[in-house]
């Protein structure tokens, strides 16, 4: 039997250790338990997610398929409650038990939340509006809440607190940072550096900073309304983020009888004290008295443990790590390593300050070696200093060179002078040699190398260096990462270029696009091209049916058993008794297996065989609801002012008018709309591709880029208008702008943030580019070209258009003689 390896904690250290074990060919039967409901993601990028510069999906390091591909059994959302060291079993919260031969504990740490009165609500966890900042769920909840509020207070002025404060500014206008110590980042910086940083944060970012501020109470009855400080001051706020430090998740280990001090005590092989088969890595481990709070040490720990466990080097030892810190706040450069002030009498300390520019630099040298460095406001020399610090390099005689670039082009590390094993990405532990190896292996794009090695995918500060190494290694043959920007995979062009080429050569069919631009036909690109050509050429488009996806060939949505669903149009979700009666009769006549209300306020007839579609349409004699295409779907409405006692606008009438006009319009992705009669939002307009909300005073708000599918996003307010007519015009203009500029399958929730709502507003509302009239004209043309596809039922468009493709019933033999 293979050795059973169980890992508790599926975070950065746990998953990395397993990766290192697999990389060494370790043959274990691996089971992992993670408290969080996800695969392993890059926790340090949560700051960037909060700041809106990174997408959630971009931070995953190991998605669920990685576990499956490597034969790892992963239990997400499963907390381990106890280890039985003698029976060698772990017990999960859900009552299951799992035996192990070797056990790794990688439970990380959690936010330390000081016992401030009012921070918790009995029985409810945190008070409403109070958040910690540790997990993806924390970050999501914080973003959701912050968007709807005005003032945030961040408690804690360390790295995490500063990054939280900066990130929150992305979602609400006022942020105050309260720090209990006398200066910011006091764990890493001395007083002068901390003071320089404070001045920059306040002047440059507009974050108010309170130092020496001890929070004594969180105020507010139902939700947070403010915080109270020990000097009696009250700072009003509706969001509180606690970033007051971390504590190792070691209670479970302690309760199971392991030696725990500030963390789980381990020896140089990461083995728990007096245990033969239990190890701990990451932030939960305490090694030689140190508990780390950064990722670099855990990369080293993971390597040692993997060497040891796989037997590649059973005597591998971890001797502790030198840690360097960088602040990930755009525009505020801070880096610190080692000592923050001289400790011995003969330590050399050099300092340069330029307060006006927010610059502070300090280096500390002992016996000719760098033992500490702080750079605020100018971090050009950091890469060099880090190397010197990490490896104890000899320092230049001219000490000022440690802080400035004197003469020479330097300022940056010289790539050709770097040793192969020199670490480039400290977050993910990638060396220059590893990067060069990948380039030599044929990958010559910066993004490609970053994907393969993960270099630059941590805090991101080494990206420029990674780029230079790739350029150097490729000898000037760096390639732009091609595919990322293509509209469809098969034609090597971004959308604007593709549109231009199609116009230039007058390409009106999908096959002619391949012939002229792509070389080879590509099944995965056909549908996207068909949609684009149809949008561009309207009636002149040469429709080749094979370019269509099956749904668009037969105007219905294919189901899991190869049958189809039929959804007739029901504008604005409003129907009539006559219509209902007809639908009922059709459903009975054709023995429709299921009749269901859709999420889009319509009625779905499911389980219709392909060959019966034309007959069903004929019996219904209603227009298609387009519930199958990458197209305009529905406009959900609420009852609005006609009936609802809250309604302030006639949402149903406007919804019907919108659907009437834009029905069937195709695009790069689905377009789902809603109109709601007041901000109570019963029709869910805030989470639609385009949502309209009636507000008091007869006005209408238009939101764009919302979503409530697998991805959930509240739309951005595009503008507020006075009349339904303006809503109709702007809807058309926005949809046309989206149709012309979005990538294939890029929904508005990705498109709008990519372009930026301000820019969208400039174009669509303010007509800053002067293209509004051409957008309107193009939309008019598409609207005019609308024809109900269900009308084309008498004559099949192609031979056998509706012939069955599945052995629902075995087909009759075709009577042909050889």
Partner 1 sequence: MRAIGYADEIPPGEGRTFAVDGEMVAVFRLRDGSFRATQAVCPHKGGPLADGQIDLKQVLCPLHLNAWDLTTGCSLSGQPDLTVYPVGVADGKILLGDLS
Ligand X SMILES: Cc1cc2nc3c(=O)[nH]c(=O)nc-3n(C[C@H](O)[C@H](O)[C@H](O)COP(=O)(O)OP(=O)(O)OC[C@H]3O[C@@H](n4cnc5c(N)ncnc54)[C@H](O)[C@@H]3O)c2cc1C
Q: Which residues bind ligand X (CB under 6 A)?
A: 8-14, 33-36, 43-44, 46-47, 79-80, 106-108, 133-134, 160, 249, 252, 282-284, 293-296, 298, 328, 459
- CB of residue 313 to ligand HEM, shortest distance in Å: 60
- CB of residue 445 to partner 1, shortest distance in Å: 23
Q: Answer for the pair 192, 185: CB distance below 8 angstroms, yes or no.
A: no
Select 191 or 521, whichever has its Cβ closest to partner 1: 521
Select 531 or 637, whichever has its Cβ closest to partner 1: 531
Question: Is residue 816 near partner 1 by the rule CB under 8 A?
Answer: yes
Q: Answer for the pair 513, 533: CB distance below 8 angstroms, yes or no.
A: yes
* Residue numbers at the binding site for ligand HEM (CB under 6 A): 680-682, 684
Buried/exposed 260-272: b ≥16 CB within 10 Å, e otherwise: beebbbbeebbbb
Q: Which of 251, 479, 561, 766 binds partner 1 (CB under 8 A)?
A: 561
Contacts to ligand SF4 from residues 434-453, by CB under 6 A: none
Residues paired with 99 in a beta bridge: 89
Q: Which of 524, 581, 589, 596 binds partner 1 (CB under 8 A)?
A: 524
Q: Which of 451, 481, 544, 792 binds partner 1 (CB under 8 A)?
A: 544
- CB proximity list for 95: less than 8 A, separation 6 or greater: none
Q: How big is the chain, counted in residues?
A: 818
The backbone region for 167, taken as left when phi is positive above 0, alpha when psi lies in -120 to 50, beta otherwise, is alpha
Which of partner 1, ligand HEM, ligand X, none has residue 684 at its interface (CB below 5 to 8 Å by kind)? ligand HEM
Which of ligand X, partner 1, ligand HEM, none has residue 550 at its interface (CB below 5 to 8 Å by kind)? partner 1
Tell me which stretch binds partner 1 (CB under 8 A): 48-56, 322-330, 549-557, 781-789: 549-557
Binding pattern for the stretch 106-145 against partner 1, x by CB under 8 A and - elsewhere: ----------------------------------------
Question: Is residue 817 near partner 1 by the rule CB under 8 A?
Answer: yes
| 3-state per-residue secondary structure call for 138-167 | HHHHHHHHHHCCCEEEEECCCHHHHHHHHH
Q: Which of 123, 442, 697, 799 binds partner 1 (CB under 8 A)?
A: 799
**Helix (H, G, I), strand (E, B), or coil: what is residue 719?**
strand
Which of partner 1, ligand X, ligand HEM, none has residue 249 at its interface (CB below 5 to 8 Å by kind)? ligand X
- CB proximity list for 495: less than 8 A, separation 6 or greater: 487, 532, 741, 742, 743
Cα–Cα distances (Å) from 387 to 324, 390, 395, 633, in that order, read 11, 5, 11, 57
Which of ligand SF4, partner 1, ligand X, none has residue 813 at its interface (CB below 5 to 8 Å by kind)? partner 1
Q: Which of 503, 596, 787, 803 binds partner 1 (CB under 8 A)?
A: 803
Question: Is residue 70 near partner 1 by the rule CB under 8 A?
Answer: no
Closest CB to ligand HEM: residue number: 680
Binding pattern for the stretch 469-508 against partner 1, x by CB under 8 A and - elsewhere: ----------------------------------------
- CB of residue 544 to partner 1, shortest distance in Å: 7
| 3-state per-residue secondary structure call for 115-126 | CCCCCEECCCEE
- CB of residue 683 to ligand SF4, shortest distance in Å: 6
Q: Which of 26, 257, 562, 753 binds partner 1 (CB under 8 A)?
A: 562
Gap between the Cα atoms of 726 and 732, Å rounded: 10
Q: 628, 629, 658, 649: which is closest to 694 by C-alpha?
A: 649
Work out the angle at residue 90's Cα, subtended by the Cα atoms of residues 84 and 95, and round it to the nearest 5 degrees.
115
- CB of residue 601 to ligand HEM, shortest distance in Å: 6
Which of ligand X, partner 1, ligand HEM, none has residue 677 at its interface (CB below 5 to 8 Å by kind)? none
- CB of residue 90 to ligand X, shortest distance in Å: 9
Q: 16, 220, 251, 261: which is closest to 127 by C-alpha?
A: 220
Select 361 or 688, whichever has its Cβ closest to ligand HEM: 688
- CB of residue 525 to partner 1, shortest distance in Å: 9
Q: 726, 655, 656: which is closest to 691 by C-alpha?
A: 655
Which of ligand X, partner 1, ligand HEM, none has residue 521 at its interface (CB below 5 to 8 Å by kind)? partner 1
CB count within 10 Å of CB 233 equals 12
Select 12 or 627, whichever has its Cβ closest to ligand X: 12
- CB of residue 599 to ligand HEM, shortest distance in Å: 6
Contacts to ligand SF4 from residues 627-686, by CB under 6 A: 638-640, 644, 646-647, 651, 676-678, 680-682
Quick one: CA dihedral 406, 409, 412, 414, positive or negative?
Answer: negative
Which of ligand X, ligand HEM, partner 1, none has residue 9 at its interface (CB below 5 to 8 Å by kind)? ligand X
Binding pattern for the stretch 590-629 against ligand SF4, x by CB under 6 A and - elsewhere: ----------------------------------------
Which of ligand SF4, ligand X, partner 1, none has residue 423 at its interface (CB below 5 to 8 Å by kind)? none
Residues binding partner 1: number (CB under 8 A):
35
Render 726-755 in DSSP notation, one character per residue: HHHHHHHHHHHHHHHHSPTT--HHHHHHHH
Q: Answer for the pair 339, 187: CB distance below 8 angstroms, yes or no.
A: no
Q: Answer for the pair 609, 808: CB distance below 8 angstroms, yes or no.
A: yes
Question: Is residue 511 near partner 1 by the rule CB under 8 A?
Answer: yes
Select 330 or 808, whichever has its Cβ closest to ligand X: 330
CB count within 10 Å of CB 477 equals 9
Joined together, the tokens standing for residue 429 give: 């532990």
Strands 125-126 and 60-62: unpaired
- CB of residue 563 to partner 1, shortest distance in Å: 10
In 485-635, which ranges are continuous DSSP H helix? 495-504, 510-513, 523-537, 550-554, 577-589, 613-620
- CB of residue 35 to ligand X, shortest distance in Å: 3
Which of partner 1, ligand X, ligand SF4, none has residue 805 at its interface (CB below 5 to 8 Å by kind)? partner 1
Select 178 or 639, whichever has its Cβ closest to ligand HEM: 639
User: What are the φ/ψ torsions at residue 345 (nearest 5 degrees)?
Assistant: -60, -40
Render 177-245 in DSSP notation, one character per residue: EE-SSSSTTTTT--HHHHHHHHHHIIIII--EEESS--EEEEE-SSS--EEEETTS-EEE-SEEEE-S-
Select 576 or 813, whichever has its Cβ closest to partner 1: 813
Residues paired with 82 in a beta bridge: 91
Q: 306, 299, 269: which is closest to 27 by C-alpha?
A: 306
Joined together, the tokens standing for residue 563 give: 């049958």
**Helix (H, G, I), strand (E, B), or coil: what is residue 549?**
coil
Select 382 or 639, whichever has its Cβ closest to ligand SF4: 639
Binding site residues, ligand SF4, CB under 6 A: 638-640, 644, 646-647, 651, 676-678, 680-682
Which positions lie near partner 1, rule CB under 8 A?
511, 520-524, 526-527, 544-547, 549-550, 553, 558, 560-562, 798-800, 803-807, 810-814, 816-818
């Amino acid at each position: 039997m293979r050795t059973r390896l169980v890992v508790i904690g599926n975070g950065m250290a746990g998953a990395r250790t397993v990766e290192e074990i697999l990389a060494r060919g370790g043959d274990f039967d691996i089971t992992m338990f993670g408290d969080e409901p996800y695969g392993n993601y890059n926790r340090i990028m949560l700051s960037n997610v909060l700041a809106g510069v990174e997408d959630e999906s971009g931070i995953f390091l190991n998605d669920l398929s990685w576990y499956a591909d490597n034969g790892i059994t992963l239990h997400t959302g499963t907390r381990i409650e106890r280890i039985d060291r003698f029976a060698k079993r772990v017990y999960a919260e859900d009552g299951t038990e799992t035996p192990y031969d070797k056990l790794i504990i990688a439970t990380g740490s959690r936010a330390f939340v000081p016992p401030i009165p009012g921070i918790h609500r009995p029985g409810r966890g945190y008070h409403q509006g109070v958040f910690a900042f540790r997990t993806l769920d924390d970050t999501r909840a914080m973003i959701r809440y912050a968007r709807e509020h005005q003032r945030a207070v961040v408690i804690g002025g360390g790295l995490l607190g500063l990054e939280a404060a900066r990130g929150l500014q992305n979602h609400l206008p006022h942020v105050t940072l309260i720090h209990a110590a006398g200066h910011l980042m006091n764990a890493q910086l001395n007083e002068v550096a901390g003071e320089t940083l404070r001045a920059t944060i306040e002047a440059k970012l507009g974050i108010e900073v309170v130092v020496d501020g001890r929070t004594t109470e969180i105020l507010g009855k139902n939700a947070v309304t403010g915080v109270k400080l020990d000097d009696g001051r009250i700072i009003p706020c509706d969001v509180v983020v606690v970033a007051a430090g971390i504590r190792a998740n070691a209670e479970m280990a302690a309760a199971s009888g392991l030696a725990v001090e500030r963390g789980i005590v381990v020896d140089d092989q990461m083995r728990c004290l007096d245990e033969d088969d239990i190890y701990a890595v990451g932030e939960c481990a305490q090694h030689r008295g140190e508990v780390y709070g950064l990722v670099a040490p855990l990369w080293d720990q993971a390597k040692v443990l993997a060497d040891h466990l796989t037997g590649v080097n059973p005597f591998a030892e971890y001797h502790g790590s030198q840690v360097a810190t960088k602040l990930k706040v755009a525009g505020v450069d801070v880096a610190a390593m080692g000592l923050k002030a001289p400790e011995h009498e003969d330590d050399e300390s050099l300092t340069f300050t330029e307060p006006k520019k927010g610059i502070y630099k300090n280096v500390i040298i002992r016996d000719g070696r760098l033992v500490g460095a702080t750079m605020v406001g100018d971090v050009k020399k950091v890469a060099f200093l880090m190397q010197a610090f990490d490896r104890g390099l000899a320092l230049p005689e001219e000490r000022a060179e440690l802080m400035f670039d004197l003469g020479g082009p330097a300022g940056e590390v010289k790539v050709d002078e770097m040793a192969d094993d020199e670490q480039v990405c400290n977050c993910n532990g990638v060396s220059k040699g590893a990067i060069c190896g990948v380039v030599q292996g044929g990958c010559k794009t910066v993004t490609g190398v970053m994907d393969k090695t993960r270099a630059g995918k941590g805090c991101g500060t080494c990206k420029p260096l990674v780029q230079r190494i790739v350029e150097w290694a490729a000898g000037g043959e760096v390639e732009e990462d091609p595919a990322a920007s293509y509209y469809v995979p098969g034609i090597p062009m971004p959308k604007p270029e593709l549109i231009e080429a199609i116009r230039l050569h007058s390409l009106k069919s999908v096959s002619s696009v391949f012939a002229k631009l792509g070389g080879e036909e590509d099944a995965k690109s056909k549908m996207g091209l068909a949609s684009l050509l149809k949008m561009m050429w309207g009636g002149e488009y040469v429709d080749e049916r094979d370019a269509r996806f099956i749904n668009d060939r037969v105007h219905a949505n294919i189901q899991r058993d190869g049958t189809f669903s039929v959804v007739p149009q029901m504008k604005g979700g409003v129907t009539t008794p006559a219509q209902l009666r007809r639908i009922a009769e059709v459903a009975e006549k054709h023995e429709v297996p299921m009749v269901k209300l859709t999420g889009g306020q319509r009625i779905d007839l499911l389980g219709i065989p392909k060959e019966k579609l034309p007959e069903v349409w004929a019996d219904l004699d209603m227009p298609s609801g387009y519930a199958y295409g990458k197209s305009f779907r529905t406009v959900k409405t609420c009852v609005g002012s006609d009936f609802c006692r809250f309604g302030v606008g006639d949402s149903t009438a406007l919804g019907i008018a919108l659907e009437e006009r834009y029905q069937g319009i195709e695009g790069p992705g689905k377009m789902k709309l809603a109109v709601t009669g007041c901000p109570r939002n019963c029709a869910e307009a805030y989470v639609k591709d385009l949502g309209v909300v009636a507000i008091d005073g007869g006005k209408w708000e238009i939101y764009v880029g919302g979503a409530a599918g697998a991805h959930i996003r509240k739309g951005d307010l595009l503008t507020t208008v006075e009349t339904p007519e303006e809503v109709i015009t702007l809807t058309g203009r926005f949809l046309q702008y989206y149709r012309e500029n979005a990538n294939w399958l890029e929904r508005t929730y990705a498109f709008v943030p990519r372009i930026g709502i301000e820019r969208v507003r400039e174009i669509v509302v303010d007509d800053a580019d002067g293209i509004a009239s051409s957008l309107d004209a193009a939309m008019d043309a598409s609207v005019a070209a609308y024809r109900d596809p269900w009308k084309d039922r008498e004559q099949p468009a192609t031979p056998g258009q509706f012939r069955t493709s599945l052995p629902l019933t075995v087909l009759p033999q075709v009577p042909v003689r050889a």
